[in-house]
A and B are shown apart, each in its own frame.
Chain A
């Protein structure tokens, strides 16, 4: 049974940002999460590309600065 997009993104963010997946919700964002800096923003983008076999435009990188935004952008591509 494959997981839904939200759970996959949470698990991915948990590993990349070294945070607890169960504590990620719609409010989790770059400006309130320690360790979510510009370097890790890029790592998130690259990990999402691998995980979902999609490709982001550079203009989309800086749109994905919260869990909610990431799910929106990724869902639109799948």
Chain B
């Protein structure tokens, strides 16, 4: 029966939306769905979201095309609801089931006319490959090779994906194949020369290869999802047979959450920083009260659960997530644990920022965000204490707050449940990011110690690698356009396919900028895209990762563009500045470098130009450039 708790959250979402308080509404929606991810709650939220005015309170419009071999329309409510929680206003295009080929192979189909921001191809194994699933036992002989079946699958998949990519630049998410629900040959199945399991493995490998060889095609690990929840829970035979909707109602939200991992990554909404509490979070008990021998951390329960949680946090560090601490404690007590406790997996060096004092956690979070030059909306805060969680939610509604459950053995899975930190790929830069923050801290100490800025720049011994975007740097260059908000002139987001187009176009310059200094190699941290017209080289994209702001790298980048323009006989450099909430650091770029402002429109967007015959930008003397 309906309980007051659920009504409070629903009412809160409605009230916040009516008051135009988007982030507070998102918080309440998040809490509502965490407590009860039910059809009613998904539908309730969907109705509210659909009724929002066209501005949508600042939600990012996101067009999702769903192409499926089964009736996937029952997922719409949870997709729109979770989209809202994640800052997306999702609009769905979905043809009737069984129209996969018609929609994808016909360039005049509704799918292409929709111009989706992302396309999902959701096919159940038994719909696409009955010979492997339901008709497996019909094969002529026990030793049947299924060659034709595997070949046919590869060809069909290739045709769909190739035609899709030739017609649309939308990213494509393709489900892989889950194992058959029924082992058709019983326990003898494994012994067959070609078992169902083996066939599915081979087919999935083909699918992965296809995805790897086509730009912006990503595999959704549907098999892992079904495996995680279990076939018994995941499927509803009743609905499959009655409505051609095989996925159980209670599982549809989980599929939506899986899609959210991709949508976030594709939209630059992936979280970047995890801020953890310490007591009853990284260890059991309270260090200030229990002492180093009294806290629980080690091979026995519950200490073993906290070790597992530390491992889960450390793994995020290795994936390029920035870690920070926000704890109400005496710093000396905390240092003792990090230095002396033999079962601490996490070390002080893993944390880019620590805020250990008695002030409110919201203050800690604000200082951490400032110290890291990261938006609060890219931060996740984890605490066992419901009061602390509530305080942060109230003060900083843009922060994602995870309240840990009462049982520590559930901490790790709670942290990972939504995949808030999932990225589409893991680069070497991601793996090194934690160390780079340590290096940055060292560089900043050096700045504080050095006499003047020029000495500081010289002492950094910076080496710039300026190169054309190529196959090996395509993913990283694209990622930077999607993630960089602060030092970004125009904040144009590129997909890999679009970046590849620029890369191949002779009238475009597509350039990556790498920075190495005496503390280490930052890798590729800047991107420039410029279009060569007859009279001017027009800057479309100019961005720099916040890690290397304040070192005049941007001057060297502009100097390179000036040289490139003159080399083509072009006498002017022009560009546009589109002001956003986040790009204050880049606002004076053109002015500082001698550009003249040409126009300004009602939105504050300005256009600028520089006459190269009179004043190209010189490259600062303290850089060594590797071209």
Are A and B physically bound partners? yes
Residues of A within 8 A of B (CB): 2-3, 8, 11-12, 15-16, 18, 39, 42-43, 46-47, 49-51, 58, 61
Consensus secondary structure, chain A interface: helix
CB atoms of B2 and A46 under 8 A apart: no
Q: How far is the CA of A48 from the CA of B164 in the complex (A)?
A: 40
Chain A residues in 8 Å Cβ range of B250: 50
Instruction: Judge whether A16 and B40 touch: CB under 8 Å.
Output: yes
Q: Please name 6 further chain A to chain B contacts, defined as beta carbons within 8 Å, in addition to the given A42-B74, A47-B40, sorted by A numbering.
A: A2-B1, A8-B2, A11-B2, A42-B243, A46-B74, A58-B242
Given contacts A42-B243, A50-B249, A58-B238, contact A15 B44 (CB under 8 A): yes
Residues in chain B within 8 A of chain A (CB atoms): 1-2, 38-40, 43-44, 47, 73-74, 238-239, 241-243, 245, 249-250
Given A42-B74, A50-B249, A58-B242, A16-B43 contact (CB < 8 Å): yes
The answer to whether A47 and B243 touch (CB under 8 A), given A8-B1, A39-B73, is: no
Cβ-defined partner of B39 (8 Å) among A3, A8, A11, A50: A50
Nearest Cβ in chain B — how far from A49, in angstroms? 8
* Cα of A50 to Cα of B77 in the assembled complex, Å: 15
Q: Are A15 and B243 in contact (CB under 8 A)?
A: no
Query: Would you list 17 pairs from A and B whose C-beta atoms are within 8 A, ordered by A residue?
Result: A2-B2, A8-B1, A15-B40, A15-B47, A16-B43, A42-B239, A43-B43, A43-B74, A46-B39, A46-B249, A47-B38, A49-B249, A50-B38, A50-B39, A50-B250, A51-B1, A58-B238
Which residues in A have their C-beta under 8 angstroms from that of B241? Answer: 58
| Contact indicator A3/B1 (Cβ below 8 Å) | yes
Give the contacting residue for A15; candidates B43, B74, B238, B249; CB below 8 A. B43
Contacts of B43 in A (CB 8 A): 15-16, 43, 47
In the bound assembly, the distance between CA atoms of A73 and B532 in angstroms comes to 71
Q: Which residue of A lies closest to B37 (CB)?
A: A50
Which residues from chain A contact B40 at a C-beta distance below 8 Å?
12, 15-16, 47, 50-51
CB distance from A21 to the nearest CB of B (A): 12
Q: Which residues of A contact B44 (CB under 8 A)?
A: 15
Task: Please state if B39 and A43 are interface contacts (CB–CB under 8 Å).
Answer: yes
The answer for the CA separation of A11 and B242 in the assembled complex, in Å, is 26
Specify which chain A residues have a CB less than 8 angstroms from the CB of B73 in the assembled complex. 39
Complex alpha-carbon distance, A32 and B146, angstroms: 53
Closest CB-CB distance, B72 to chain A, in whole Å? 12
> Which residue on chain A has the smallest CB distance to residue B45?
A15
B249 CB, nearest partner CB in chain A, Å: 4
Complex Cα–Cα for A71 and B418 (A)? 37
Inter-subunit contact A61/B242 (CB<8 Å): yes
Residue of chain A at shortest CB distance from B3: A2
A3 CA to B40 CA, complexed, in Å: 17
Q: A3-B1, A3-B2, A61-B242 are in contact. Are A18 and B249 (CB under 8 A)?
A: no
Residues of chain A lying within 8 A (CB to CB) of residue B249: 46, 49-50
Least CB distance from B514 to A in Å reads 53
- CA distance in complex: A41, B598 (Å): 60
Complex CA–CA separation, A46 to B252 (angstroms): 12
| Residue of A with least CB distance to B41 | A15
Measured CA separation A58–B245 after assembly (Å): 14
| Given the contacts A2-B1, A46-B39, A50-B40, A18 and B74 also touching, CB distance less than 8 Å | no
Bound Cα distance A27, B505 (Å): 66
Most buried by A among B39, B44, B239, B242: B39
Bound Cα distance from A34 to B38, whole angstroms: 23
How many angstroms between the C-alpha atoms of A47 and B40 in the bound complex?
Answer: 6
